[in-house]
Structures are given as structure tokens and as C-alpha cells.
Amino acid sequence: MSSNYHVALVVPVFNEEETVELFVTTIKEKLASILDHLEIVFVDDGSKDKTAALIDSLIKSEEGTVKISLIGLSRNFGKEAAMSAAIDLIEADAIVPMDVDLQDPPELILEFIKVWQEQKVDTVYGVRVDRSTDTGVKRVTSGGFYRVFNRLSSKVKIPENAGDFRLIDKKVIATVRALPESNRFMKGLFAWPGFTSKGVAYKRPERSAGKTKWNYWKLWNFALDGIISFSSLPLRVWSYIGGAIGFIAFLYMLYIILDTLITGVDAPGYASLMCVVLFLGAVQLISIGVLGEYLGRMSEEVKHRPVYVVSKIKGNLSTNLQGGINKTTNGLYVNERQD
């Protein structure tokens, strides 16, 4: 393995004061053999607790033992925006996005780096072979999302049971950084360039401390964003549904005409009329809703608003940013740099 490489661990955090210190301690313990090659970059996504203060104190107290930096966003923009900020700002040979709750085992990074260097693989991702720590509903819905996404998306496929925990080469980082879209589904963006990739199996442990910030409503919206970002099939399918309903309606019209010619005029039925009206009304509303989802995202894209706003940078993060207002690829950095 090469002795000259720099890997940045990208750790988005939001109200994680219970886990930050344990995370750094675990990284020092599990990755002691490669600590000289690592940098921990926390991305504070607008935390309201003591998360940012704890990271600031760790930067000062851990100086000389482990490299720690902090990218602070001005408010809560979401995990995808936090990772986008890190991708735009960090200069490294590879980055590893991971969760601060230690459900992404740090020791697996050693295997990531080995595959990356020895086999020259551009992306090495973790595959969860055992999700017994998740609830039954979470396992079912998660597996269903991967299957639906890969079925609907004809050009981009994401590996099943693979989260954001992966090692990404700077070649892939540069490509993802150049993508200007506002609605950023990172799993899809990481797969979109099409460079070489390989999965490494691992058993996902339980959360070390604190509570997850993801509820089922957020996960549903997250899944919806991913599908709409990488597939137009939900729009196309309504053409087929409309054609099928039109064909059925045509057959029913022929039946009514023939029935009238043979048996005479029949009194119209209120129940059948209401069923048809309500059914077609529901179909129309659903189709309008699908159109609205796409139009809403188009509206976000044409505004060209920044995906994130960075309010502070602390530590020895290697960037080319200066004080004042800097326009990064997908966001803004608005503040005086603080080292």
C-alpha cells in the first residue's frame, strides 16, 4: 500500500452532542495504524445543542494527535446538503462519508483503503448483510426502496443495502462536485459517474448513543426525492394509465350503445355515475400530484439558490477559500475564516 495518501472522514452531525466525543475516541482506537493519513471533518448541519462547541473543544484538545476540522452551516439544510458542502470544500485523495453514531464501523475503513489502493477501485462501499438492529418495518421499506429505484431508473443503479458509508476516490469527487443540481440524492450522484466500484460486506451494529433524527415521514420524502431525481417513469406511466382508461371507456361506450339499440333507453343510475366520476377524479388528482412533484423540483432548480451556506470553518481544513463571500460549486461560504 502507498504510504502517501490523505483520506478525509466526512461526518454530518445534527444535535449529536452525546456521540461526538465517543466517535473521535473510537476513531483513534480503531484506526490508530493509519491515523497520520486521516482527517475527521465534521459538518455541523445547524445543531441547536452543544455539538459545535464540543467539536471546537476537540479541535483544540486533540491537536497533534488527530486532525479534526469543522464546517458549520448557517442552518439545518439536511444531510445531503451537508455532504455536498464537504465534497465542495475538502481537498483529499479520497473521502469517506460516515455516521457519527458508529453504526458505520470505523475498522471497515481499513478494508476500504486496502481495496482502493491494491485493486485500484474508485468507489468502495459497505454492504449491510445483517440489519437485525433495524426494525422490521425499516428493513422492509428500505429493501423495497432499492428495488423500486433500480426498477424505475434505467441509467443509474444503486447497490442494495448500501448507504452513504463508502470510500470515494478524488476522481469521483471531482465529477460529483461539478454537478450543479439543487435536489441532491447523494447515493444516486455517487453512482452516476459510472467509475469502478466494489462492495465490502459488514454487519451493522446498534447506534452507540443518542436517537436517530430520521422518522418515517423524512425517509418517505427522501425516497421520493431520489426516485424523482433519477427517473421520469412516474411521468410516463400516466400516459399508459390514461390510454388504458380511455380504451376501457371506449369499450364501455360501445356496450351502452349496443345495449340501448337492443333493449331501449335505460334509466341512468346514480351509483354507477358517482363511481365513474370519483374514480376518474382520483386518477386526475394523482396524476396532477405527480406533475406537481416534478414541477416543484424544476422550480427549485431554475432559481439557482445555493444548496448550503457555510458560516464558519474551524481547524486546518485544506481549502482555497478566503474571508468574505466565496461561491463554491453548489453553495456559499459567508464569513471570515477561523483557524
310 shares a domain with 271: no
d(CA 192, CA 182): 16
Give whichever of 74-78, 131-135, 180-184 has the largest mean pLDDT. Answer: 74-78
Q: Is residue 227 part of a domain?
A: no
Question: Is 43's pLDDT higher than 60?
Answer: yes
DSSP 66-107: SEEEEEEESS---HHHHHHHHHHH---SEEEE--TTS-S-TT
What average pLDDT does range 71-99 have in this prediction? 89
Question: Is 301's pLDDT higher than 60?
Answer: yes
143 shares a domain with 89: yes
Q: What is the CATH number of the domain that holds 170?
A: 3.90.550.10
266 shares a domain with 160: no
Average pLDDT value over all residues in the chain: 78
Q: Is residue 28 part of a domain?
A: yes
135 shares a domain with 256: no
181 shares a domain with 122: yes
Which of 61-65, 199-203, 316-320 shows the lowest per-residue confidence on average (mean pLDDT)? Answer: 316-320
Domain around 279: 233-303
Q: Are 95 and 86 in contact (CB under 8 A)?
A: yes
Angle at 99 between CA 125 and CA 128, to 5 degrees: 40
Q: Is residue 222 part of a domain?
A: no
278 shares a domain with 184: no
What average pLDDT does range 311-332 have in this prediction? 72
d(CA 69, CA 89): 12
Q: Is the pTM of this model over 0.85?
A: no
C-alpha cell at 56: 471546537
Q: How many domains is the chain built from?
A: 2
Based on DSSP, count helices (H) and strands (E) in the chain, helices before strands: 10, 10
Question: Is 309's pLDDT higher than 80?
Answer: yes
184 shares a domain with 195: yes
Quote the pLDDT of residue 42.
93
Question: Is 223's pLDDT higher than 70?
Answer: no
More confident residue, 319 or 111: 111
Residue carrying the nine cell digits 351509483: 271
Quote the pLDDT of residue 129.
79
77 shares a domain with 52: yes
Quote the pLDDT of residue 224.
67
Query: End-to-end CA distance of the chain, in Å?
Result: 32
